[in-house]
Amino acid sequence: MESNKTASPKKNASQKKKKKKKSNGTFLNILKVFLIFMIVAGMLGSGIAYFYVTNVLKDIEAIDPTLIEKALTENSVIVDGEDRVLEQIQNVNGLRTIVRYNDISKNLINAFVAVEDKTFWSHNGFNFVRLFGAVKDTLTSGKRLGGTSTITQQLARNVYLPDSKTERSVDRKIKEAYYAVELEKYLKKEQIIEGYLNLIYLGSSANGVEAAAQTYFSKSAKDLDLVESAMLAGVPKSPTKYAPMTTKKKENVTPEDYVLDDSNPLFTVVFNPSCEERYNIVILLMRNNGYLTDDEYKAAKAVDLKTKLQPSKLTSTEISSYFSDMVKEDVLNDLIETYGYTYEEASNILYTKGLVIHSTIDFDMQKILESNYDADNFTTYFGESTHAAVKSFQSKYNLSADGIAGQGTIAKIGEVTGMDTSVFTQNLYKKGSDGEEVILLKKALYAQGFLRNNENFPRVTVTFNKDGNIISEETKSTILFKQSNFINTDQQLMLPSSDYKFDDQGNLVLFKNKRLNFYPHLQGDQVVSIQVVVKNTFTYNEDASGKSTGKKNIEGLYTYEGRDVFIPNEYKSFDADKNVVIDKAFLAKEPDFFKLDGNQTLLIDKDNYYISDVGIIQPQSAMVIIDYHTGQLKAVVGGRNISGQKIYNRAVNPRQPGSSIKPLSIYTPAIDSLRYTAATPIDDRPLYLSGSPSIRWPYNWYEHSSSYPKHWGLVTLRRSMQYSINTIAAYIANDLGVDTCISYLKKFGITSLVTEGGTSDMNLSAVSMGGMTKGVSPLEMTNAYGAIANKGVLTELITYTSVENNKGEIILENNQTKEVVVDEHVAYIVKNMMESTVTSGIASSARISPNNDSIPVAGKTGTTSNKMDAWFIGFTPYYVAGVWFGNDVNMPLDQGSGVSALFWKTVMSEIHAELEPKQFERPDGIVTSKVDTMSGKLPTDLSYMDPRNTVISEIFIKGTEPTEQDDVHVSATVCLESGKLATPNCPTTLVENKVFVKRPLPYVPSENYDNSGNPIILGDWVYELPTAECDIHNSTIIDTFDYSNYEGVTPTIKFADGSTVVQRPFFIELNDGQKVLLPIGTKILADNSILFPDASTIPAYMIKFIPTFTTEELDHMDTLPSVNEAIQGVDDNSNITEDSMNTNN
């Protein structure tokens, strides 16, 4: 149903207009004065009309047509690389997009002319007949003058009289008429209606018809049909009353409301039935004025208006505002820097001048990232949260609570939920299970309220006191108050009697360090005001955690920010103990501000204090994805479960980086110094770098692990990164110097360093383990890692590529800087070391291909002390990404950086799913060489004899590869029984030539003790070259057959190779009944064959029985062979063994 005809007077009026402009304007001026005079004469009487008009107009400013353009502020837009709108930037005056006359639907123009100004195309500024009719009505009825304005007058009023446009006075009408006539003199009709349609307010924050068309119908003004045009034309009469839709809070939506859009978490858009009344008037006037035929009118009247509305989302609701907030901030800063604008001037340009900002966002990548932050976006992995949920389900239904979903648990889930359990094809599901069926299990548990925590995220480790408040494990002070302990069901703040007192003068004294915080505001040394702030509170999923006492890992933790208690400042002061005193005068003035209940608890009503209504889920997280080749930010999330704009962005706020700082501050400087290579061995041994020679520092992160030694001993630089060995990082930092480490962090673009003052980052802890004063933001950490990926070149991070004004001219072009941090060869070595950390080190859970081969990942984990922060930052040949987990309030996580690496993998696997396999580019000038990892030198024959396979292939910057022979491996003859250097007295069967390591700097365990007072044994100590000789087999010859010499001696000793060595003679029995004496030093091999000290043997198949005597049995044995029998046995033995040897060989 399209009607594009316009009224015929338009052409004639235009022709007349042209003729008038050719004249000297005298007639028009006379007519203008006459018309204004007649208006006033009709209201005031002709006697004084002339003088009145002259007085009103004497100081009026001359018309300036350019003011129309200035009044037409236009919203800027942020678009992605495919010109999809990320956000239409809305200012305080709402939305506006300027559109030209030829881009406005003729239906729309006709509708507005019909309802607002039917003689628009023929009048000279105002409708004389209509005006005098209104004047007459005013004079006869006494009502205010109104309803007379033409479209030209309305435009004049909005542009030239903005401060008085709501007035209905004679003065304003005179000025309005004057400007209307002037506008008609300077502008064509098409220009006038174009300005008018771009300027008018049309409800729902839409200014102008283009913004309104997008807001209500999700289309451009040029594409509006008759019905849509008529609906818009009805709005200006009263935008609040006649706008086609309205927004309600969700709790206010009724069953009678017709819902148009329910996607917002807080508000719902519903149809406004009042618009129908005005719509019907518009189409009637269109028919009466010849814009519609009778048939078109009837068809338009029959349309269900609800079906025409399709509200647009001017800001994408598919993604958060984190990215667009960063873009706006960057554009503002660049406008200020480039053009010298003030902040206010730059803001005005950004919000009102119709800029088109080409952002760097990858919209699809952003959606993938955010989907992994959604609470109900279940992964296929059966993790800790699912284990806890299954366990809770089992406990409730009296099943064995082991957290394993076996057949009994699955059957019970089916019984409780009614789901078809045949979809579960496995016998059981447990931690580590992975597959689509795990998602079905999670959904079932989620629906029953057992699974509340997003599997992607760790839980929070807290310590509860007896009241259920969260306290510091060390100091026992309260960190967060349980909200139900803090605020009662009437939303009153509760201060127990221990938090306050009334002094002798009747003043109220609020004690410090209780439920309120006190912040003095100073001018110099003078306290000018005191802020009284409510402390933060929390809620959590109590059912999932059981009784709230002691230390627990909890889910669903939400924190609520406390703010002011609204006590006027003049009534507050500090006493000598820094408690806050509330003057009794305030208590007298506001007797209901504080109330006492029967328990003497002080109650403060909700209106008198503020605490946030919406909790913030913990733990929190941030993730950043950057194309390091271009420096373009592609996706960012700055927090979990948060909506709105200008929200706290954790991606740009510093946190402690832990060991993730090491590639930047330790390993890159080390390789760049050319004094270290990836194969350089460093002794992981106790260090004393705390400043006190008696205090061991640092500790390795596995200090208290039963699976690892406290120190490994000699390890290569590569391996030290793979396992994030703190002592080696501290050793290198101490060797290079803190200043050097800091200088590299600056080169990598870290701006949050504190290098001066009493508390700074100029120390080993900060540069080697990330124990920094402020920390580093995920954004800066990720971009810094990108420099390693990008061949050592740091590319300035950008959020937009260019900005155009509303004329399509580029006003900002983001030509970012590039800085060479290190040579590409250095970067490649570090990159390769980081790759092995993912391939075979502690970050293996970050691999996005099974063997880290098709699309390799290189990266580094980071966990701060007590697991307050958990990081993983890594890169592929395509992108670099960094993820951080932690709490807004310092509380530990139940997992370390492993959960960050796994989350990184989950996100990046999806992002790389459609990308081609690709490898990191290896530059020329990198060579490969065999190397002995114990010395970092060329291997020798002894190197290959080390059972640990210490000969490897390693890459080097050409010129740094080893040229000298290994000198750490040595050969020595040792006694197997004592483990010391052999002497001539050691039995030959207990003597062996072995390969050992001669540590460059000797280590003595007895000089290094752990916190329990035990000597610290290095992990490779068993390979250390002995320095002492055997003290078991000395020069005193023991009579082999005098059994009293062996009383109390253990018969045998077991060796690692499975063999057993005889320490005390005893007999075995052969198959033919012979008894054979096993003298000291005899070996019983793993297959039960016998090796005598003289190298003769008895094969196992000839042996009937080998007794397993205890020491006590041999000490008290009644029947022992005589010396002659023993000697004969040995002689017989010799004969038997000779034959057996012939048989075996």
How is residue 825 written in tokens?
Answer: 């060869």
Residue 649 included in any domain: no
- Judge whether residue 98 has pLDDT over 90: no
Which amino acid type is present at position 255?
Answer: P
Residue 149 included in any domain: yes
Question: Do 989 and 1014 belong to one domain?
Answer: yes
Q: CA nearest 230: which of 240, 220, 241, 242?
A: 242
Question: Do 428 and 574 belong to one domain?
Answer: no
Question: Do 89 and 152 belong to one domain?
Answer: yes
**What is the tens place of the pLDDT at every residue in 756-777?**
998 999 999 999 999 999 999 9
Higher pLDDT: 1134 or 472? It is 472
Residue range of the domain that includes 757: 660-776
Confidence label for 2 from pLDDT (cuts 50, 70 and 90): very low
- Identify the pLDDT of residue 1133: 36
- Identify the pLDDT of residue 84: 87
Question: Do 262 and 408 belong to one domain?
Answer: no
Phi, psi values for residue 529, rounded to 5°? -160, 160
- Identify the pLDDT of residue 25: 41
Q: What is the CATH number of the domain that holds 701?
A: 3.40.710.10
Which amino acid type is present at position 478?
Answer: T
User: Can you tell me the distance from the alpha carbon of 622 to that of 373, in angstroms, rounded to the nearest whole number?
Assistant: 10
Diameter of the chain measured on Cα atoms: 161
Residue 357 included in any domain: no
The mean per-residue pLDDT over the stretch 428-443 comes to: 88
Tell me, what DSSP letter sits at residue 665? I
Question: Do 682 and 533 belong to one domain?
Answer: no
Confidence label for 1046 from pLDDT (cuts 50, 70 and 90): confident
Question: Do 207 and 139 belong to one domain?
Answer: yes
The mean per-residue pLDDT over the stretch 651-658 comes to: 96
- Judge whether residue 495 has pLDDT over 80: yes
The mean per-residue pLDDT over the stretch 690-711 comes to: 89
Question: Do 22 and 95 belong to one domain?
Answer: yes
- Judge whether residue 7 has pLDDT over 70: no
**What is the tens place of the pLDDT at every residue in 24-53?**
343 344 344 445 545 555 554 554 555 666
Residue 853 included in any domain: no
- Identify the pLDDT of residue 30: 39
Domain-terminating residue out of 730, 745, 776: 776
Q: What is the CATH number of the domain that holds 270?
A: 1.10.3810.10
Residue 686 included in any domain: yes
**What is the tens place of the pLDDT at every residue in 48-63?**
555 666 676 767 777 7
Q: CA nearest 346: which of 359, 326, 362, 332?
A: 332
The mean per-residue pLDDT over the stretch 950-958 comes to: 98
**Whose structure tokens read 């009994």?**
408
If you average pLDDT over each of 180-189, 648-657, 828-837, which comes out highest?
A: 828-837
- Identify the pLDDT of residue 94: 66
- Identify the pLDDT of residue 376: 62
Q: Give the CA count within 13 Å in the CB-facing half-sphere of 50.
A: 3
Question: Do 952 and 981 belong to one domain?
Answer: no
User: Can you tell me the distance from the alpha carbon of 215 to that of 201, in angstroms, rounded to the nearest whole number?
Assistant: 12
- Identify the pLDDT of residue 1136: 31
- Judge whether residue 138 has pLDDT over 70: no
- Identify the pLDDT of residue 1123: 35
Confidence label for 1060 from pLDDT (cuts 50, 70 and 90): confident
- Identify the pLDDT of residue 1: 42
If you average pLDDT over each of 112-121, 380-389, 1065-1074, which comes out highest?
A: 112-121
Question: Do 1099 and 1008 belong to one domain?
Answer: no
Residue 781 included in any domain: no
Residue 878 included in any domain: no
The lowest-confidence range among 339-343, 522-526, 1064-1068 is: 1064-1068
- Percent of the chain at pLDDT > 90 equals 52
Give the CA distances from residue 799 to residues 468, 779, 780, 840, 935, in Å, rounded to whole numbers and listed in that order.
45, 12, 13, 35, 47
- Judge whether residue 146 has pLDDT over 60: no
Domain-terminating residue out of 276, 308, 340: 308
- Identify the pLDDT of residue 1134: 35
Q: DSSP states of 504-565 as a string?
A: TTS-EEEPTTSSEEEEEEEETTEEEEEEEEEPPEEE--HHHH-SS-EEEEESSEEEE-EEEE
**What is the tens place of the pLDDT at every residue in 366-387?**
999 988 887 566 777 787 668 8
Q: CA nearest 938: which of 967, 910, 899, 918?
A: 967
Regarding pTM above 0.85, the answer is no
Planar angle of CA 1136, 1137, 1142, nearest 5 degrees = 105
The mean per-residue pLDDT over the stretch 522-527 comes to: 89
Domain-terminating residue out of 776, 801, 819: 776
- Judge whether residue 97 has pLDDT over 60: yes
- Judge whether residue 189 has pLDDT over 60: yes
- Indicate the average pLDDT of the chain: 85
| Cβ contact 134:145 at 8 Å | yes
Confidence label for 343 from pLDDT (cuts 50, 70 and 90): confident
User: Can you tell me the distance from the alpha carbon of 150 to that of 157, in angstroms, rounded to the nearest whole number?
Assistant: 10
Domain count, the chain: 7
**What is the tens place of the pLDDT at every residue in 789-823?**
999 999 999 999 999 998 899 999 998 999 999 99
Residues 6+ apart with CB under 8 A from 828: 791, 920, 922, 923, 926, 955
User: Can you tell me the distance from the alpha carbon of 664 to that of 742, in angstroms, rounded to the nearest whole number?
Assistant: 9
The CB density around residue 98, as the number of other CB atoms within 10 Å, is: 20
Residue 326 included in any domain: no
Question: Do 152 and 290 belong to one domain?
Answer: yes
Higher pLDDT: 1090 or 1137? It is 1090
Q: DSSP states of 945-1008 as a string?
A: H-TT--EEEEEEETT-S--SBP-SEEEEEEETTT-SB--TTS-GGGEEEEEEE--SS---GGG-
Phi, psi values for residue 1120, rounded to 5°? -115, 145
Confidence label for 1058 from pLDDT (cuts 50, 70 and 90): confident
User: Can you tell me the distance from the alpha carbon of 386 to that of 450, in angstroms, rounded to the nearest whole number?
Assistant: 9
Which amino acid type is present at position 1071?
Answer: N
- Identify the pLDDT of residue 9: 36
Question: Do 973 and 942 belong to one domain?
Answer: no
Question: Do 205 and 56 belong to one domain?
Answer: yes
Confidence label for 1031 from pLDDT (cuts 50, 70 and 90): confident
Tell me, what DSSP letter sits at residue 914? T
